[in-house]
Amino acid sequence: MPFTIAIDGPAASGKGTIARALAQGFSFHHLDTGLLYRAVGAKGGDPVRAARELTPADLERPDLRSNETGQAASRVAAIAEVRQALVEFQRSFAMKEPGAVLDGRDIGTVICPGAQLKLYVIASDQVRARRRAAEIDADEAETLAALRERDARDMARATAPLRAADDAVVLDTTYMSISEAVSRAIAEVEARYPAR
C-alpha cells in the first residue's frame, strides 16, 4: 500500500518546498494541487469546463505563480463543481507506489483523509508575504494584502475550506530555515514510514 503524505496550509507557508523535499528524499511522487486550480483560473472562460479539460500542458504555463493567477485560483477553487472535477485526479495520484506527497489546502481534510501523515504548515502573514514577494519579484505590501484576501476567501468557502485536519501535525515555519523545516518534516515521516 502506498504511503501518502498530505500537506496543507496557506500560500507561502513553505508547504511546497517541504513537499518537494520529502518527495525527493523518499522517492515519492509529488503533486502541487494548487497548480491545478491556478491552471484552471489562468485558462479563463467557464471554470468547470476548464477543470474537466485540464491537460498536463496547462500545468506548464509560465504565469501560474503570479499574484493574479493565485487570486483566480482561489476564486475558482470556491466552485464546488470545479473541485469535484479535480478530486478524482488527485485521489488517483495519491495512490501511486511507493508513495505520494500532495500539497494544497484540503488534502488532509477532503482529498486524502486517510493519509498516513498530515502536515499543516503555517507562518506569520508578514513572513509569508516577504517570501512570496521575493519569489515573484512583487511589492511586499501588495503581496501581503493579496495573501490576506486569499486566506480569508479560502478559509470561509463553503466547500473544502482551508483548515488543519484534526490529526494533522502543525508545523510553524515562521522562524525556521528551509533546512530546519524540512528536517522536522522528515522526522515526522520517518516516525511513520520505517521502510525507507
Confidence of residue 22 (pLDDT cuts 50, 70, 90): very high
Average pLDDT for the chain: 94
Residue 1 pLDDT class (50, 70, 90 cuts)? confident
The cell for 103 is 500539497
For residue 118, what pLDDT is reported? 98
The pLDDT score that the predictor gives to residue 195 is 62
Amino acid at 179: S
Contact present, 2 and 97 (Cβ < 8 Å): yes
Environment class of residue 28 by beta-carbon count within 10 Å: exposed (0-12), middle (13-18) or buried (19+)? buried
Reported residue count of the chain is 196
% pLDDT > 90, the chain: 85
- Per-residue confidence (pLDDT) for residue 196, from 0 to 100: 55
Spans of all domains in the chain: 3-192
Specify whether the CB–CB gap between 93 and 31 falls below 8 A.
Answer: yes
Enter the DSSP assignment of 79: -
Binding-site residues from annotation: 9-17
Instruction: Give tens-digit pLDDT for 115-148.
Output: 999 999 999 999 999 999 999 899 999 999 999 9
* CATH T-level assignment (fold) for domain 3-192: Rossmann fold (3.40.50)
Q: Please report, in range form, the residues annotated as the binding site for ATP.
A: 9-17
Q: Residue 33: pLDDT band by 50, 70, 90 thresholds? A: very high
Cβ contact 13:121 at 8 Å = yes
Mean pLDDT of 73-100: 93
- Each residue's pLDDT tens digit, 157-196: 888 899 999 999 999 999 999 999 999 999 999 999 976 5
Helix (H, G, I), strand (E, B) or coil at 140: helix
